[in-house]
Amino acid sequence: MNKKEISEIKKLFANENSVISTICGCYVDGDKNKKSMMREAFLSLPQDEMHKYMAIFRKCMTGTLGRNILNMEFADAATEVTVSQQKLMDLRDSELKDDAVLETFYDEIIANYNTADNYLILLVYGVYDVPGRTSDGIEMEDASDEIYRHILCCICPVKLSKPGLSYNSEQNGFHERIRDWVVDMPAMGFLYPAFNERSADVNSILYYSSKAEELKFDFVETVLGCTLPMTAGGQKETFQAIIQDTLGDECEFEVVKEIHEQLTELIEEKKDDETPLELGRKEVVNLLAASGVDNRKIEELENNFEEAAGGSMTQPLLASNVASTRKFEIKTPDVVVQVKPDRTDLVETRMIDNVPYLLITLSDSVQVNGIDVRMPGSKEQEEE
């Protein structure tokens, strides 16, 4: 799913646009015991409850595509329906009305979701009458292309509220607050089937994790039968390894700065694209060539790209995951310098008396520990 498709489905999880017919839940304690289960007609819930559930569902569609919102496919889905895929299809096709199918699904999650917290498994079933679109992208509400039947699953931590004092209006005084169990925003969730090209793709899932570096690989592979890509942090480390291994002894400051500038410009050019910018072999080679890297080094990278990537690149890297678009950082054991990514021209290296120095061009406005200071040779001193 791209950004526009995710946004279209996310809008469905609002009170005025609700397409949800059924909501189910299973409350599990830290010892993996089922404490409570429920199934309701969603539109029969009180408005206040509907609003709070909707906030949870929208959260599962919120984040950065390719970082904590991920498109996944079932292993071997191109040739056969997998066991995990069939279970999800059964859930959807039952419209969450089959107790045995629900029970099996809950049990599988409980067996494979490892946490010491209590949590709530939420499942909803919805039917979206997908409006047609003209060739120039204008929506035609009266013309439907298809019916998108889907389920959304959210796993939400349930935590004891913090102790404290509260005001009791009946007693007109402050007393110890009664602590209760509160449903938090989801730690993870998924939409099935994915809404690819504005149509149900039964071979794909849209997966959400509140923490981009904690994707729960074992859970995804066991319960959903999918293979997760590398985390954002893992992709950044892989990209850094490619650059270092390719440049070797020629991994100099000016070269790395130029790579940063070229990558930042490329991301800026593609910022309005619906799909994230990918960096595979071809894109990385072109990036290094545009940055002035020696042709011999580039040829070596072309021939040994997988080896340079540590043999772990089953999918392209995402530029948004590997680039530091918010800062340009130079770090030594004793000093850290951060520069705006579009002002790397203010930093250069120079040899003075055979000692390498990092030079930073300063403006008239300089602060040290929050205190405005004047630098030697500043305009103010010249005027004095």
Question: What's the CA angle centered on 124, arms 60 and 71, to 5 degrees?
Answer: 40
Average pLDDT, stretch 107-115?
A: 94
Q: Which residue has the higher pLDDT, 345 or 109?
A: 109
Tell me, what's the pLDDT at 37? 95
Give the span between the Cα atoms of 8 and 4, in whole angstroms: 6
Which pTM does this prediction carry? 0.83
Q: Which residues pair with 156 in a beta bridge?
A: 120
Tell me, what's the pLDDT at 134? 66
Tell me, what's the pLDDT at 294? 87
Residue 161 contacts residue 179 (beta carbons within 8 Å): yes
Range from 116-130, 241-255, 277-291 that averages highest in pLDDT: 116-130
Give the span between the Cα atoms of 238 and 308, in whole angstroms: 8
Which of 104, 107, 106, 120 lies closest to 30, judged by CA? 120
Tell me, what's the pLDDT at 160? 86
Distances (CA, A) of 113 to 92, 206, 334: 21, 18, 42
How are beta strands 336-339 and 328-331 bridged, if at all?
antiparallel
For the stretch 235-265, pLDDT in tens is 899 899 888 888 888 888 888 889 988 898 8
143 token code pair: 């013309």
CA dihedral (13, 18, 23, 25) in degrees, to 10, reads 20
Range from 72-81, 241-250, 303-312, 375-384 that averages highest in pLDDT: 241-250
Tell me, what's the pLDDT at 118? 95
For the stretch 203-236, pLDDT in tens is 999 999 999 898 898 899 999 988 888 888 888 9
Q: Is pLDDT at 194 greater than 90 in this prediction?
A: yes
CB 14: neighbour CB atoms within 10 A?
Answer: 14
Tell me, what's the pLDDT at 380? 53
Q: Is pLDDT at 311 greater than 70 in this prediction?
A: no
Q: Is pLDDT at 305 greater than 70 in this prediction?
A: yes
Tell me, what's the pLDDT at 120? 97
For the stretch 49-92, pLDDT in tens is 999 999 999 999 999 898 899 999 887 666 678 889 999 999 99
Burial class (CB in 10 A: 0-12, 13-18, 19+), 90: middle
For the stretch 141-154, pLDDT in tens is 665 678 999 999 99
Confidence of residue 124 (pLDDT cuts 50, 70, 90): very high
Q: Which residue has the higher pLDDT, 290 or 145?
A: 290
Tell me, what's the pLDDT at 378? 57
- Average pLDDT across the chain, whole number: 87
Give the span between the Cα atoms of 39 and 256, in whole angstroms: 56
Side-chain half-sphere of 37: how many Cα atoms within 13 Å? 9
Tell me, what's the pLDDT at 177? 82
Q: Is pLDDT at 136 greater than 80 in this prediction?
A: no
Q: Delimit the domains of the chain by residue range.
A: 3-228, 233-322, 328-383
Tell me, what's the pLDDT at 180? 85
Q: Which residue type sits at 134?
A: T
